Structure 1
Amino acid sequence: MAISTAAPRMLALGRAELILLGRNKMALYVALLLPVLMVWTMRTTIGDMDLGDTGMSLNETSLTGAFGFILLFVIYQNLVSAYVARREELVLKRLRTGEAGDAEILGGTALPAVAVAVAQMVVLVVAGVFWMDLRAPARPDLMLIGMVLGVVLSIALAALTTTWAKTVESAQLVTTPLLLISLVGSGLLIPLEAMPDVMADACELLPLSPVIELVRGGWLGGLSAYETVGHLVTALAWTYLAVFAVRRWFRWEPRR
């Protein structure tokens, strides 16, 4: 019964948020165009890199890394701004006085960004297989698990990041550290296999690294059972910690 009543409330919140997203042209352009621009930039950046040790081609590296760009820019960055804006407008506070639970409010607000992200991920796979001659996903189940964990983790990290943002304007600033760390260290721009061993071992522990490795391994194959379990445990641990931190420190109303 609880699930049957929660779904309509989340969809209603999602529809309202989608309307607001459509009115915010800058946020819409970031969600739709920035990941594509980043993939093109990535191909240009690593075009001269020797990828022989990674076992991946330029197209394989670019397209699998693009999943990280989508998680960062379509979900994470957009949601930080959305959550802060709704908090400062007292929308979140008013919603909490109704029947919707905390997870429903945060999840409903995230629905449009998640829908756009999932659509872009599907387009990536289709374009990669039918246009760029990449192999079909070797482990679709593993790839799906990585995508789901990435979406949930990105939402939780976005909600947590809002605790450091006092205004909508500062929301873009507080997302910068995770964006830069993930772009450089989580295998989006430079595959972990191309890094020195010590650096790669450290970067594997970053929040998005296990997600990218699961998606990359699910599409291209090559992950051993040991590596798969290790990435799953790391991704689940980060997700649990992020959700716990959100429940503990997320602010539902403006600071006084």
Structure 2
Amino acid sequence: MFDIAWSELAQTFRNRSVLITSFFMPVAASVFFIWRREIFASVGQGFIAALVVFTIAAFGLYASAVTSLAARRQNLFLKRLRSTTASDAGILVGLILPATALATLQTVLVLVVLSAVTGRPADLALVAIGALLVVAMMIGLGLATAGVTRSPEHAQITTLPISLGVIAVVNWVAITGYEELTALKRLLPGGAATELLTRAWDDGVAATDALILIAPTLAWVAVSGALALKYFQWEPRR
């Protein structure tokens, strides 16, 4: 598993387009959000935290995972790996681990910078839980999307609906607040996680409310995992 992960990490750093679009651009966008944080002062700094987490997860982790898996399947690398002693789970973990580790590191560093310039979050533990749930959800959605993606070039199209969709949900939920259409906002993918992240950063969340917000996010993690099991393919798509 770790041999596969090291090999995948090396391939990632050799691919300049993947580095720019999947890693540098999300970080650059996050830095811009922090730099112009006064624009979001009326919404709260928690909005920036949620936006950072989802931007890196959607464009850094999710998009790069789909592109990488589609490329490895197209050149039959996945098929060759299955002929080795590595288990299916070990192969997938090895392929996804570098992107996950890089996205997690990016998120931590950007949130540390945000806390340094705006103040510590009210509930750091819940911010961490919310971020981890977002990462888990995007990994599952990445595996599912890779199953319907024919090539790395095709990934630029197939990843757009979910990437832009979750960012739209973050903006809608955080900017319009939680008082209206509360149930709908919490049921949308990323909606409850956005509320959890923003409230945990700005004011803190009571234990009961935290469980209410974690539940639908966990449900989306389960849904994304089920979609991954259903749609992910090892053989090239025809």
Distance (whole Å) between structure 2 residues aligned to residue 217 and residue 48 of structure 1: 18
Alpha-carbon contact 2:47-2:174 (below 8 Å) kept? no
Indicate the larger mover: 37-46 or 141-150: 37-46
Partner residue, 2:12: 21
Partner residue, 1:78: 64
Partner residue, 1:89: 75
- TM-score of the superposed pair, with normalisation by structure 2: 0.88
Task: Give the AA of the match of 1:180.
Answer: L
Q: Figure out how many residues of one structure are paired with residues of the other and give that number.
A: 238
State percent identity of aligned pairs. 29
Distance (whole Å) between structure 2 residues aligned to residue 251 and residue 175 of structure 1: 16
Task: Note the residue ranges of structure 1 that are not aligned, 5 or more in a row.
Answer: 1-9
Which digits, 9 at most, give the CA deviation of each residue in 1:53-107, with x for residues without a partner? x5x24xx422332111011111001101001011111111222222222222221
Alpha-carbon contact 1:137-1:220 (below 8 Å) kept? yes
Partner residue, 1:229: 211
Matched, 1:220 2:206: no
- TM-score of the superposed pair, with normalisation by structure 1: 0.82
Partner residue, 2:162: 178
Secondary structure of the equivalent of 1:100? coil
Partner residue, 1:150: 134
Alpha-carbon contact 1:210-1:234 (below 8 Å) kept? yes
1:114 to 95, 100, 109: 100
CA apart distance, 1:139: 2.4
Alpha-carbon contact 1:31-1:116 (below 8 Å) kept? no
Which digits, 9 at most, give the CA deviation of each residue in 1:21-78, with x for residues without a partner? 0111011112332123333665799965682xx5x24xx4223321110111110011
Distance (whole Å) between structure 2 residues aligned to residue 77 and residue 211 of structure 1: 19
The Cα RMSD (Å) is 2.5
CA apart distance, 1:197: 4.8
Alpha-carbon contact 1:83-1:162 (below 8 Å) kept? yes
Alpha-carbon contact 1:165-1:174 (below 8 Å) kept? yes
Secondary structure of the equivalent of 2:187? coil
CA apart distance, 1:113: 1.0
Residues 1-256 of structure 1 mapped to structure 2, 5 A cutoff: 10-39=1-30, 51=42, 54=43, 56-57=44-45, 60-130=46-116, 132-134=117-119, 136-185=120-169, 187=170, 189-192=171-174, 194-195=176-177, 197-199=179-181, 201-256=183-238
CA apart distance, 1:199: 4.7
Instruction: For CA contacts below 8 A with separation 6 or more, give which structure has more relative contact order.
Output: 2
Distance (whole Å) between structure 1 residues aligned to residue 115 and residue 61 of structure 2: 24
> In structure 2, do the counterparts of structure 1 residues 183 and 44 end up closer, same or farther at CA, with 3 Å as the change threshold?
farther
Secondary structure of the equivalent of 1:251? coil
Task: Give the AA of the match of 1:178.
Answer: I
Task: Note the residue ranges of structure 2 that are not aligned, 5 or more in a row.
Answer: none
